[in-house]
Chains A and B, each alone.
Chain A
Amino acid sequence: MEELSDLCVNTIEPSQLSQIKAHLDLVLLALEALTEIGSEAMLQAAHDLNLRDVLSDRITLWRLRQASPLRKSKGGRKKLDVDEARAIAMISSHLAGQSQLKIRSAVAQLEKATTEKRSPYQEPILGDYIDRFHGLYQERMAEEDRIATEALQRLALKLLIDLLFYSAPNGSRRLWIALLERSLPHDR
C-alpha cells in the first residue's frame, strides 16, 4: 500500500471516487475478458500483495466490484473507500503483470491488424477478447449505461492497451494516477 499512499488521496471527492470505481471495474472486466481470470486469482493476488485485511473473501470482492455505478444490481452495493480502491488497483496491475505476455501478443495483433487495415476481429486472441468483453459488459452493466457495439469495441481495445501499461513494474502507480486524473472534473 505504501507505494500508492504517497499520492495525495485525502482530497478525493465522493464523485471522484465514483468515477474511480467505475473505471476500475472496467479495467478488471477487460482483464477477465482477456485472461479468464476469476475471483480465485483475484483473492490470491490480494494474498500475495498482503491485502487480505482489505480483501479477505469472495463476498467482499463481489461487493467491491458491485460498487461500480455502472453496475446493474443495486442490491448489496457497498461503499468503496479509497483504501479499497487502491487495493483493487494494485490487484489489477499485479494480475496484468502475470498476464503480460498474453496482453502483449494481443496488442501486437492489434498493431498488425491496424497497419494491414483489417478488422481486429479477424485476429484470434483479439476476436475472442472482444467477444468476451462484449458479453461480460452486457451481462453486468445496467441497460441505461450501455453503449453501441462499435463504441464498446473501441472501449475494449483502449482498455487492452491500457492494460499493457498497467502490467509494467510500476503499473499500479500508473493505474492509480490514471484513475485520479480521470476522476478530476476538468478532465471530464
Chain B
Amino acid sequence: MIDSNSLQMCRYELPTCLLEVWGDRSALSEWTDRPVVMNLKWRLRIAEKSLKGNQVQLETLIDSIEDYVKDLLAKDQTPKSTHALKLPQLTGLNLTTLQLFDLCTSLELCTNEIAILPSLELEVKRITPAWLKIAAVLVATVGVTTSAVRLISPQMSPQLASSPSANTSRSPSSPANPLPTKPKVETLLPPATGLTVAPLPNLNQQSREVKTANILRTDKNGIPALPAIAQTRPAPVAIAKRSAANQPANKPTSKDESQEVKIADGLDSSSPSRDPVSSSRSANGQAVLESAPAIISSPASRQAPAQLGRVEPSLGASSEIAVYARVQVTDVKTSGKTSIDRDLTSSLNQNLGALRLPKGSKGKVLLELVIDRGKLKGITVDTQSSSLKDSDTVDLIKRSLQTWTPPTPANGTIHIVLQVSP
C-alpha cells in the first residue's frame, strides 16, 4: 500500500462526466482544513471526449467554466441548447446544459475538497544559486542517464509524453519503477528530486568548488549534448517540446557510454589518473559520497590499488561504471514535529552515502522511521510498496540507517523513499 501522504486521488463521478484528480499531498496540509495538493494531474471524461492536463490547465479550465456559467446566469439570453466552450490549451467542448452543469459541479466539488497549491517552482528557482543549478542538473543527468534514461524511455514514454507538466520533466531522475501496476507512483517522485539536490549546500565550500570544477570539466570533455537536457529540466516544458527532448535523450546515453568507457580505461591504467576518476564518479553518483563517511572509506580503497584493479577490469567489460549500487533519498515525509526535510535528507544521504550495495541492485525502498526524543527507535520497511525486494540488500540499508542519528532532536515518524540505482 502506498503511503497515504504521497498520493491524493479524487474522483468525481456525475451522470454525464467523470473527473479524476491526483497529485502529491503537500506537507502544508497539516495547517489547512483541506488537503493541499501539489503537482496535480487530472483527467476528465465528458461528452465522449477525454481531456487531461496539469495544474495550470485545471486552473484555466475552472476559470473558463466559471466565467461561462457566470455569464450564462447573469444575462437574459434565450436558453441555448449547446454550449460551445473555448478552453485555452485544451480542445474545446460542446456541452449540453446538463453536461455543463455536471462539469461545473465536479470542478466545484474538487475545489471544495482539495486546495491546489500554487506552483512553488518559481520560488525555488529564485533562491537557487546558478552554480547549484548546473551542478544539480549535471549530477542528476550524469547519474541518471546511464541507467535511468535507458530504462525509463521505453517504459514511461506514454506517460511522459502525455503530461506536459513542468514537474514530470524531472522524472527521469527517478529511475524506472519496475512495478507496472503502479504507474502513479512516478508522478510522486518529481518533488523528491528537489530534495536530493538539497544536501549540496551542507557540504563545505571547498568540496563544492572541487566538485563544480570537476563537473564542468567532465562537461567540456565528454558530454556536449547534456546542457540541452539541462535546459529542459528546470523550465516548464510543453508536450511537443518534451517529446522532442525525449529523443535527444538517447544520444547522450551513447555519448555517456563512451564517457563510461573512458573512465573505465582510467581505472585500468596507472594510479595518477585515478583521482579525477574517483571524483567524477562521486559527482556521477551523489554529491554526498564525498561527505564524511565516504572520505573514511575512500582513502582505504586508494591504499589498496591492486585490490581495486582486480575488481574493476571486469566491470569495464560490461561498460558499467559503478562498482556498487547507489542509494539516494528521493522523498522524505515527516509527521509530528521534526526539522526541515532538507536537513533530514542531507543527513540521511550522508548516512547512506557510505553504504555499498551489491552491484546491480535497483529499485525503490519505502521505509518508516520512528524517532523518539531525537533517537531512532524503529525502522519498518514497506515491503509491499518497495520495488527492491531483495531482503539482504534491504537489510544492508536498514543496518546502515540504524547508525543514523536525526540531525535535530524530535519526535515523530518519517517516511522516506530510497532510490537504489545500479
Q: Name the CB-closest residue of A to B15.
A: A104
Is A154 engaged at the interface, CB distance under 8 Å to the other chain?
A: yes
Contact B70 A164 (CB under 8 A): no
A162 to B70, CA, bound (A): 10
A18 to B97, CA, bound (A): 29
A165 touching B109 in the complex, CB below 8 Å, given contacts A115-B81, A174-B73, A181-B74: no
| Residues of chain B contacted by A114 (CB below 8 angstroms) | 81
Interface residues of B in 90-145 (CB under 8 A from A): 96-98, 101, 104-105, 108-109, 112
| Residues of chain B contacted by A169 (CB below 8 angstroms) | 105, 108-109, 112
**Contact indicator per residue, chain A 135-177, by CB within 8 Å of chain B (1) or not (0):** 0000000000000000000100110011011001110001101
Interface residues of B in 73-99 (CB under 8 A from A): 73-79, 81, 96-98
Interface centre among B74, B81, B96 (most CB of A within 10 A): B74
Chain B contact patch, size range: 20 to 34
Interface residues of A in 90-112 (CB under 8 A from B): 104, 107-108, 110-111
Contact B73 A170 (CB under 8 A): no
| Residues of chain A contacted by B78 (CB below 8 angstroms) | 154, 158
Contact A170 B108 (CB under 8 A): yes
Chain A contact patch, size range: 20 to 34
| Secondary structure class of chain B's binding surface, majority of residues | helix
Contact B96 A168 (CB under 8 A): no
Contact A158 B79 (CB under 8 A): yes
| Residues of chain A contacted by B69 (CB below 8 angstroms) | 165, 174
Is A71 engaged at the interface, CB distance under 8 Å to the other chain?
A: no
**Contact indicator per residue, chain A 45-75, by CB within 8 Å of chain B (1) or not (0):** 0000000000000000000000000000000
| Residues of chain B contacted by A154 (CB below 8 angstroms) | 78-79
A165 touching B98 in the complex, CB below 8 Å, given contacts A115-B81, A158-B76, A178-B73: no
| Residues of chain A contacted by B79 (CB below 8 angstroms) | 110, 154, 157-158, 161
Q: Name the CB-closest residue of A to B76.
A: A158
Where the two chains meet, the residues of B that have a C-beta atom closer than 8 Å to any C-beta of A are 69-70, 72-79, 81, 96-98, 101, 104-105, 108-109, 112
